[in-house]
Structure 1
């Protein structure tokens, strides 16, 4: 028996007999359901919660003091001016000196660049050693580093001040660089160790068979493959070191105070009239570097985390 002729006919796309075309997995749903509406509402409220202070800071920094005293903090400036920004950068008083926050900016850069390079270099090398070169006691050393990472660093300040004063590097740029390297070592070691553990061990074994040594394998094989993790480490260290206050206040010295310490001196100054527009401009200038880093490399941060930062 042959099938009826009708069953041999192709079904039209809109006919009941035609199978429904599967929508691609990335296609947006045609209708909004209550769950999605709630998600959008939550995201909008969260964004509003975090962006409102930034908006207030920006509009206040562009207003004259007479307009700020009117109390309309959410209103746009009637006559926008960049004079508060110029004053915050070049002539705001940070204690007895009135050179603006630009001095602190260059001090922060002088602290940031060597601290980031040194902490990442030492952390990557230590993480590589703990992942492939299983020497005796490596597990104990890794555990000790992790314990130190969760100990409040404030309890180490006084002993380190005494040690650095004895060595002769207290109140100096090299001293604060060493401090940031020491306190960044546990986190950097954890990140790179977990990333290197996730790599195929055959790469390490093949390099060993070819005669490569400890540093040759690290420099020629492991480090080029760790680019996503290096980006993650740079973002974390730049943010942490740039935003640091207490370590810079204690170890940098009066001549090398970072931007965050000078910002505190500007905002909490009791001399003369309180210039809120200058304070807001100085605050934005201080936070500009971490904001630029996040906006410029946010997607790389996610890729680095996904490629091994939480593995191991």
Structure 2
């Protein structure tokens, strides 16, 4: 019985080049640059105030304590109310979930119509939607306040959801339109020949293959609605204030001692949900972009 030696095919790996080393160094330094503030927030939130006053913000906690996290969650004061960030969590979900679903659904339908069911003036409509994404939102605040007040939606949950839907609908339409534009025209034509109509083709042909771009839209829209401060401050009303508004009230409080550990813990609590959403679906986000989310 003879043994044969298998010689691997392909190019033999060479030595690590200086350019590759420089690339790794750059990536490591970039990661450290963005992770350093997160590290400072975490270690500060785990220190008592007596240890924070020593001034060494990079040192690990000598006395590990979670009291700041407990107070940030249920005891920190936002004005005259001392309930912490807990009430804002439910409000943020009430705003972010429908504020994600509505523009996502409407944007998908608009992108589908602009890609396959072109009507007269479709290019003009798409151009107007595209231009509207570059208009600063601050320009519309005063007219929106007047409109919301006149319709009775100012300071209500439906009002803030409507604001998020209207302002993010153009970018959602752009994402889905560009994604559907990369779908072969033959697939749509075959569905039309088989008797498919507007809704049947959309629901049974295009939606099943749109998982990557849907994930991209969910991440962009959910994190945007969750992290929003300006709209939540102006349009949500006192009873519907999201976590970002409560966080600002805690951090900028002018009464008593500045509790930096509580401020850092409250900041981490506010950012926890968007970070979790991205970490769970991050690979789909990258895949959605590579599959045409930002292609024209």
Same fold (TM over 0.5): yes
Q: Which residue is equivalent to 1:177?
A: 161
Which structure: larger Rg? 1
Deviation at 1:20, TM superposition (A): 9.1
Q: Which residue is equivalent to 1:44?
A: 28
Unaligned runs of 5+ in 2: none
The answer as to 2:41 corresponding to 1:57 is yes
Instruction: Give distance in 1, aligned partners of 2:8 and 2:238.
Output: 73
Q: Which residue is equivalent to 1:81?
A: 65
Q: Which residue is equivalent to 1:225?
A: 209
Q: Which residue is equivalent to 2:16?
A: 32
The answer as to 2:110 corresponding to 1:110 is no
The answer as to 2:255 corresponding to 1:271 is yes
Q: Which residue is equivalent to 2:220?
A: 236
Deviation per residue, 1:259-301 (Å, 9 max, x gap): 1011000000011111100000000000111111121111111
Q: Which residue is equivalent to 1:148?
A: 132
Instruction: Give distance in 2, aligned partners of 1:83 and 1:252.
Output: 30
From 108, 114, 122, give the equivalent of 1:138. 122
From 258, 268, 274, give the equivalent of 2:242. 258
Q: Which residue is equivalent to 1:125?
A: 109
Q: Could you tell which deviates more after superposition, 31-40 or 226-235?
A: 31-40
Deviation at 1:221, TM superposition (A): 1.1
Deviation at 1:200, TM superposition (A): 1.2
Instruction: Give distance in 2, aligned partners of 1:76 and 1:177.
Output: 42
Aligned residues: 292
The answer as to 2:76 corresponding to 1:92 is yes
From 187, 202, 212, give the equivalent of 1:203. 187
Q: Which residue is equivalent to 1:293?
A: 277
- CA-atom RMSD, angstroms? 1.5
SS of the residue aligned with 1:161? helix
From 23, 27, 35, give the equivalent of 2:11. 23
Deviation per residue, 1:65-112 (Å, 9 max, x gap): 000001111111111111100100001001110010111111101001
Instruction: Give distance in 1, aligned partners of 2:258 and 2:277.
Output: 31
Structure 1 residue ranges, 4+ long, deviating more than 4 angstroms after superposition:
none
Per the normalisation by structure 1, the TM-score is 0.91
Deviation per residue, 1:155-209 (Å, 9 max, x gap): 0111111111111111111011111111111110000001111101122222222
